[in-house]
Amino acid sequence: MNPMNNWQRAWPAPAKINLFLHVTGRRPDGYHLLQTVFRFLDFGDELRFAPRSDGDIVLATPLSGVPPESDLTVRAAHALRVRAGVSAGVTLSLTKRLPMGGGLGGGSSDAATTLIALNRLWSCGLSVGELQTLGLALGADVPVFLHGRACFAEGIGERFTDVTLPPAWYLVTIPDVSVPTAEIFRAPNLRRDTPAIAPAAWRYGQGGNDLEPVACALYPEIRRHLDWLRARVPARMSGSGACCFAEFATEAQAQATLAVLPPSIRGFVARGLDVHPL
């Protein structure tokens, strides 16, 4: 049996970090124009799927505070089924490791993995481009997980230029707050006019995170994490927060810093990936 069509397997949904994130403008419809570099991490959620004969789409592991019908995995399964014209049912089981509202793309990654897995398991035959169109309707970060490579992203996050990044390990800290992305983008003091960079002109290490000052002002716990990290190494917030990260050349260096985190700061170490595990 082709392992990619195996109902028994586990399907990874990796985290992402934003090596930089600039807001370069705003469209008339209110969507913000962004530039960022996405990198995946060798750490994330995990999904399993089981066929159903009744045609229902059921989430066996609902998240606290999230109605199953609003869960991105359920919405992704419904969207794929409508687009492909199939009537199959499925039970979805999610092992959640990535924090909600953490800026690591957990929900988006879960949705993308659901689209990838069910496209194969249901033999839908949709192309990556077709899956990306479905994904963009679910959330701006979903398409990059379907694109599947570290990349410079533009627009509202749907135009990609692949990049080659040096090997790196990351210490990621998890502030005990959940940041609603919409709240950060609504903030009147958010900078929305950072000059655009041509993808070919971007250099590794260039840029900052325009969302970070807003998130830190609203959630001082993020600032506390960044202050602790920056007293030792360069650090940055990922996405709209809340998670923060520092980069290291070796796993040993990252683990050594993880080992001295104060008890009030939790985190994990992961390797940077240039290619999505699926």
Q: Give the pLDDT confidence score for residue 7 in this predicted structure.
A: 95
Reported as a single tens digit per residue, the pLDDT across 75-97 is: 999 999 999 999 999 999 999 99
Active site residue 16: yes
Reported as a single tens digit per residue, the pLDDT across 196-231 is: 999 999 999 999 999 999 999 999 999 999 999 999
Q: Give the pLDDT confidence score for residue 228 in this predicted structure.
A: 98
Share of the chain above pLDDT 70, in %: 98
Query: Which pLDDT band, with edges at 50, 70 and 90, does 5 fall under?
Result: low
CATH class, range 169-273: alpha beta
Query: Which pLDDT band, with edges at 50, 70 and 90, does 1 fall under?
Result: very low
Active site residue 96: no
- pLDDT value at 2 more than 90: no
Give the mean model confidence (pLDDT) for residues 58-65: 93
Query: Which pLDDT band, with edges at 50, 70 and 90, does 3 fall under?
Result: very low
The active-site residue, picked from 45, 110, 141, 210, is: 141
Q: Give the pLDDT confidence score for residue 80 in this predicted structure.
A: 98
Q: Give the pLDDT confidence score for residue 158 in this predicted structure.
A: 84
Structure pTM?
0.95
- pLDDT value at 6 more than 90: no
- The DSSP annotation for the chain comes to --GGG-TTS-EEEEEEEEEEEEEEEE-TTSPEEEEEEEEEEEEEEEEEEEEESS--EEESSPPTT--GGGSHHHHHHHHHHHHHT---EEEEEEE--SPTTSSS-HHHHHHHHHHHHHHHHTT----HHHHHHHHHHH-TTHHHHHH-B-EEEETTTTEEEE------EEEEE--S----HHHHHH-TT----PPP--GGG--TT---BTTHHHHHHH-HHHHHHHHHHHTTS-EEE-TTSS-EEEEESSHHHHHHHHHT--TT--EEEEEEESB---
Residue ranges covered by each domain of the chain: 3-162, 169-273
Assess if CATH 3.30.230.10 describes domain 3-162: yes
Give the mean model confidence (pLDDT) for residues 34-58: 97
Reported as a single tens digit per residue, the pLDDT across 153-174 is: 999 878 999 999 999 999 999 9
